[in-house]
Amino acid sequence: MFYEVDEDGNLTHPFFQEVLYGFKRVAAAEGYDVLLFTNTPGRALVQSYEHRARARGVDGVALMGVRRTSPDLEALAASRIPCMSVDLDLLGPRAGYVSSTNVEGAVQAVEYLIAMQHRNIAFIGDRFATKPGHDRLIGYQQTLQRHGLAFRPEWVCNGDFSEDSGYESARRLLAEYTEITAIFCAGDMMAIGAMRAIAERGLAVGEDISVIGYDDLPVAAATQPPLTTVRQERRKLGEMAAQALIQMIQDPYAVPPVLQIPTELVVRQSVAVCRKAPVGG
């Protein structure tokens, strides 16, 4: 499995930890060992993905947390090495992928905010242009358009799925655009950072500014107030990636699948009915 780590070499994000758990569980049950190859974003690969895979004699390759702009991905997809990606739309003769229904998940979140009378909704997304981040932005835009609400690019800030990036993004948004009444974040950790920025301004999450996250990490239920979010089946993503990869390894004629797992809106207490009059269209 190839995975991009942070600058300190850590596989720390709880989302990917659970995906990896599900993947390893299925692989172990089928008698396969999982080798983890890491790469730090922004650093050139000494060897290509394909070269590293062939040098180790692996049966198949999984990709997780890898950006679409990473070098050598297309060569790997064309190499005929069985390959499954998580949240990366990499396709080839022996390459498929699995993801959550991220557009639909974002639609669920924004529809709920609009149902709670919010019209001035900001978005904290993903500066790395990952497929999940892009799809969640599309869902946000589509839902605004469906309800006749203007998409305001200045109300979009891009983070890196970390708590600190959510905090900094929300701090900038709230300082400049006081008419914002709700923030939809493309990840729970960014939502938690946004909640910290809201509290720092002396405002109440929910009562003054509503917040929705994405992932339903375990910490989401423990925030104050508990975070409304979009649930992804993280372990199932890993399990399905492993099952599909093993099928391709064992059957050279297996068609590389494109798999999607439904999302679910989990309503808690970080969203309340909007009390402000809307601004703009």
HSE (side-chain half, CA atoms, 13 Å) at 237: 28
Nearest residue to 54 via CA among 29, 79, 33? 79
Q: Is the pLDDT of residue 72 over 60?
A: yes
Give residues with Cβ within 8 angstroms of 207, minimum separation 6.
Answer: 272
Alpha-carbon gap, residue 105 to 202, rounded angstroms: 30
One-character DSSP codes across 12-63: --HHHHHHHHHHHHHHHHTT-----EEE-TTSPPSS-HHHHHHHHT-S-EEE
Give residues with Cβ within 8 angstroms of 166, minimum separation 6.
Answer: 124, 159, 185, 187, 189, 190, 191, 192, 193, 194, 197
Fold match between domain 2-100+233-261 and domain 102-231: yes
Of the given ranges (36-40, 178-182, 201-205), which has the lowest mean pLDDT? 36-40
Identify the pLDDT of residue 202.
98
Q: What is the pTM of this model?
A: 0.92
Q: Is the pLDDT of residue 68 over 90?
A: no
HSE (side-chain half, CA atoms, 13 Å) at 281: 7
Identify the pLDDT of residue 66.
83
Q: Is the pLDDT of residue 45 over 70?
A: no
pLDDT tens, position by position, 78-124: 999 999 999 999 999 999 999 999 999 999 999 999 999 999 999 99
**In this structure, which amino acid lies at residue 187?**
G
pLDDT tens, position by position, 262-277: 999 999 999 999 987 6
Give how far Cα 244 sits from Cα of 86, 101, 224, Å.
11, 18, 39
DSSP 161: S
Q: Where are the domains of the chain?
A: 2-100+233-261, 102-231
End-to-end Cα, the chain, rounded Å: 46
Alpha-carbon gap, residue 45 to 230, rounded angstroms: 34
Give CATH for domain 2-100+233-261.
3.40.50.2300
How is domain 102-231 classified at the CATH fold level? Rossmann fold (3.40.50)
Alpha-carbon gap, residue 213 to 230, rounded angstroms: 6
- The pLDDT mean for the chain works out to 93
pLDDT tens, position by position, 142-190: 999 999 999 999 999 999 999 999 999 999 999 999 999 999 999 999 9
Give how far Cα 65 sits from Cα of 32, 89, 267, Å.
21, 12, 27
